Amino acid sequence: MKRLFAISITALLLFSGCGEKFDLSVFESEKTGGNVAGDTVYVKLTPEWSGFSNPTDIIIGKDYFIYVTDTDNNRVVMLNQNGDILSTLTVPKPVKIEQDYQLNLIVIAKFDTVVNNISRSVDAVYKINMVAGGHNLGSAPVSRILPRPGSGVSASDLRISYTGISVFYNNSFYISRTGPNNTSVVDPDNSILSYQKSPSGRDTLLGRLPAIDPNGTGILSANGISSLVGFDKRNIDFILTLKGDNSFRVQWLTYVVSSLGEQYELKLSPQGGSDLMQINKFTDPSDVTIDRSGNIYVADMAKDSVYRFNQFGGILQKLGGAQNFVTPAGIAHYDKILYVVDRANGRIVRFRLSTDT
C-alpha cells in the first residue's frame, strides 16, 4: 500500500503553528517522480474518482493531501491519496486552489454581494487557515483577500476575473487577473498582483508585476492568463498559461538579478528550439504542474490532451483521447502518478507511466 504521508501531520502542524515556512529540503528528499529512460505509454489507474460536478483544479498540497475545486457543487474537497473524501468546505464556485508553506489554502471563487440594490456575484480570493481548523476543511477559518474587506466593491471588481495563484518558498504569492480595461498604464485589468507577508503576518499587496505587457501577443504577456504555477524551490520563478491572442501560450518566467536591475525574463526562448515554445503549440492551456525532476506537464482543454516536457522544453509524451478524459481543466503530479481533472465527465483520472508500474 502506498505510504500516505511522507511526514506526519502532527509534525506539519507543529511547524505551521509557529508561523514558520517549511524547509524545502523536505520536498527535495520526499517528493519524487520524473523522466525515466525508456518511457513508453501512460497506464490509466482504477478506480476513477467520481462524484464531482464541473471540477476545475487539483493540487497535491504541501501537507500531501489532495485538494479539488468542485465548482458546480460549490465546495472545496480534501482527499487522501486513496481518493477518500476527508472533509469539504462550502465555497461559491471555486475554480483555482493553491497551498502555501504554512498550510493555508488560497482559493479563487465567488463573492456574493449587493451593489445599488442589485445582487451581484464577483470574483474573490479567499484564504483558508487549515492549521487553525485542525486540518479539517469544515472547521477551518476563512478570510477574504480580494475584494479587500472593508473597501466595498469597485467598478473594477465587477468586471475582472481572478485566474491563477502561484505560491513561493517565503509564503509570498502572486494572483493573476484578467479584464477588458487595459488602457491604464498604472493599473490595467490584465495583471499579476504580488503579495507579501508583513511583519504582523498580514498579506500585503505590493502592486502589480512590472514589465508584463497587459495586451501583449508575444512573450512576457498578461493577456488572458489562465493559470500560474510556481516551483518547490528557493526562487520566485513561475510558469503561466495564456488564453488570449498570443502565439506563445505557455511561458516560463525566471527572475534575474543583474547589474542592470531585477526583472523577469523568459527562461525558454522561441529561438532556442524548445518544443514548449513552438508558435501556436497550445490552443487553450488550462493548467501546468511540475514534477520532482523538473518535467513540465501542460493540460490543453481544446485539444483534450496533456503534454509532458523535460526541463529544457523538449517534448517527452502526449496523453489524450476521449477514452481518457475530456476537457482536462487541472493537473497535478506526485509519486509518479499524474492526476487529471476530467472536467466534462466530473471526475479525477490517474495515470502512471508503464515503465513505473
Q: What is the pLDDT of residue 12?
A: 45
pLDDT for residue 243 is more than 60: yes
- What are the residue ranges spanned by the domains of the chain? 38-353
92 Cβ contact partners less than 8 Å away, ≥ 6 residues apart:
74, 109, 110, 111, 112, 121
pTM greater than the 0.85 cutoff: yes
Q: Which residues of 266-279 are buried (b: 16+ CB within 10 A; e: fewer)?
A: bbbebeeebebbee
What value does the mean pLDDT take over residues 278-283?
A: 96
1, pLDDT greater than 50: no
Task: List the grid coordinates of 283.
Answer: 490552443
Angle at 192 between CA 188 and CA 195, to 5 degrees: 120
Q: Quick one: what percent of the chain has pLDDT higher than 70?
A: 89
pLDDT of res. 356: 74
Percent of the chain with pLDDT over 90: 79
Q: What is the pLDDT of residue 41?
A: 81
pLDDT at 7 over 80: no
What pLDDT is recorded for position 20?
47
Quick one: pLDDT band at residue 239, thresholds 50, 70, 90? very high
C-alpha cell at 312: 529544457
Q: What number is the average pLDDT over the span 197-213?
A: 91
Task: Report pLDDT digits (tens) over 142-186.
Answer: 999 999 998 888 888 999 999 999 999 999 999 999 999 999 989
Looking at residue 40, its pLDDT comes to 58
Instruction: Let me know if domain 38-353 sits in CATH 2.60.40.10.
Output: no
Q: What is the model's pLDDT at position 279? A: 95
pLDDT greater than 50 at residue 95: yes
Give me the mean pLDDT over the 343-348 stretch: 98
